[in-house]
């Protein structure tokens, strides 16, 4: 049984490169992904970092849609806590009007940055009106589902109104997120590139399938493919993931010890703990990675994987995704 492959791109900057160069490579990767047969191309949102080039995925989505023909393009994801659900609905209705049937709206609960950028992004947000994440997501869903409403005798509309709204995906790494997605009728993507705990994955995927009357979640996984197993392992050894656990219960995953320490400096929590996370990268030749994906498919019933490629060097990342595409039965 085959599976679909999709991509998550963060537009990382190579050494001595500016954001313009990184974004150009993101467009080139999207065009290659379409050529290789990938189904979706999603863009991540990150703030206050000189390592990644996308802080506004909606803008880059429009650019990529204009330079591809059939590839589905979307956010992976919009960090909803920072924004008005009404404005997010407007943005994605605008995109869906530009390219009907090709736009995905992925939404995440994480901040996409450290506390300083979160404070700056939410400078004018009234916390009493904001509500929690579940309330924000419900409001966004309401605006996408019922775009025209009566307000005190007048009409309030989410415009433009596209012929087909964006497909909706909740990105999460917990059973709670899975159940929220099912309750709202959204697709669910388990972020195994951030949380590879098999118990958490199994519980979340089972909960989503049960609560959504049999629908299957997507699984986001980190993948490094190379021409040899040894080369793939070398690239895996260059990466690391850390989790910061605050005394107030908040948990944040970051990509370096430096980021973990910066988060602690900027946070208002009384105390913190840093955990080094075990690497869960699927690595090897294209054929070896394909076999690992098949094993995950058999274990969890996955029909579509979203591939995160945590390789710092751009040509190595491009080669990794090409090898995976050529080895996958989903793209045969």
Q: Please write the tens of the pLDDT for every residue from 87-99.
A: 999 999 999 999 9
Give me the pLDDT at residue 242, please. 77
Between 58 and 2, the more confident residue is 58
- Of the candidates 30, 39, 301, the residue with the CA atom closest to the CA atom of residue 167: 39
Using pLDDT thresholds of 50, 70 and 90, give the confidence band for residue 129.
Answer: confident
Give me the pLDDT at residue 331, please. 47
Examine the pLDDT at 23 and tell me if it is beyond 70.
yes
Please state the three-class secondary structure of the chain as a single string. Answer: CCCEEEEEECCECCCCCCHHHHHHHHHHHHHHHHHHCCCEEEECCCCCCCCECCCCHHHHHHHHHHCCCCCEEEECCEEHHHCCHHHHHHHHHHHHHHCCCCEEEEEECCCCCCHHHHHHHCCCCCHHHHCCHHHHHHHHHHHHHCCEEEECCEEEECCCCCCCCCEEEEEECCHHHHHHHHHHCCEEEEECCCCCCHHHHHHHHHHHHHHCCCCCCEEEEEEEECCCHHHHHHHHHCCCEEEEEECCCCEEEECCHHHHHHHHHHCCCCCEEEEEECCCCEEECHHHHHHHHHHHHHHHCCCEEEEECCCCCHHHHHHHHHHHHHHCHHHC
Between 118 and 224, the more confident residue is 224
CATH no., domain 4-233+280-331: 3.20.20.30
Using pLDDT thresholds of 50, 70 and 90, give the confidence band for residue 330.
Answer: very low
First to last CA, the chain: 12
Percent of the chain with pLDDT over 90: 70
Give me the pLDDT at residue 238, please. 65
Domain ranges of the chain: 4-233+280-331, 240-278
Least reliable range by pLDDT among 62-71, 130-139, 200-209, 248-257: 248-257
Mean pLDDT of the chain: 90
Give me the pLDDT at residue 276, please. 76
Report the pLDDT averaged over residues 79-92. 95
Give me the pLDDT at residue 332, please. 44
Between 262 and 16, the more confident residue is 16
**pLDDT digits over 247-293, tens only?**
777 777 776 777 777 777 777 766 678 877 766 899 999 999 999 99
pTM value is 0.90
Between 109 and 1, the more confident residue is 109
């Amino acid at each position: 049984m085959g599976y679909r492959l999709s991509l998550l791109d963060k537009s990382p900057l190579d050494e001595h490169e500016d954001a313009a160069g990184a974004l150009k490579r993101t467009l080139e990767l999207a065009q290659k992904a379409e050529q290789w047969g990938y189904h979706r191309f999603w863009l991540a949102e990150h703030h206050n970092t000189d390592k990644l080039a996308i802080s506004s995925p909606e803008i880059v989505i429009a650019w990529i849609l204009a330079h591809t023909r059939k590839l589905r393009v979307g956010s992976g994801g919009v960090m909803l806590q920072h924004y008005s659900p009404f404005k997010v609905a407007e943005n994605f209705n605008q995109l869906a009007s530009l390219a009907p049937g090709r736009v995905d709206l992925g939404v995440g609960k994480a901040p996409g940055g450290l506390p300083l950028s979160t404070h700056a992004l939410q400078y004018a947000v009234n916390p009493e009106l904001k509500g929690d994440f579940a309330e924000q997501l419900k409001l966004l869903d309401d605006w996408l589902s019922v775009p025209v409403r009566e307000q005190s005798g007048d009409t309030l509309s989410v415009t433009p109104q596209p012929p087909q709204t964006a497909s909706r995906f909740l990105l999460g790494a917990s059973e709670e997120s899975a159940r929220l997605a099912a309750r709202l009728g959204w697709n669910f993507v388990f972020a195994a590139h951030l949380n590879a705990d098999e118990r958490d994955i199994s519980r979340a995927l089972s909960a989503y399938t049960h609560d959504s009357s049999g629908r299957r979640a997507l699984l986001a996984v980190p993948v490094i493919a190379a021409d040899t197993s040894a080369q793939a392992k070398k690239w895996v050894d260059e990466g690391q993931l850390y989790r910061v656990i605050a005394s107030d219960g908040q948990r944040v995953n970051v990509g370096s010890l430096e980021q973990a320490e910066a988060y602690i400096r900027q946070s208002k929590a009384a105390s913190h703990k840093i955990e080094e996370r075990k690497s869960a990268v699927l690595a090897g030749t294209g054929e070896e990675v394909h076999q690992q994906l098949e094993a995950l498919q058999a274990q969890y019933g996955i029909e579509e994987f979203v591939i995160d490629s945590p390789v710092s060097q751009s040509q190595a990342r491009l080669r990794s995704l090409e090898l995976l595409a050529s080895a996958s039965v989903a793209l045969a």
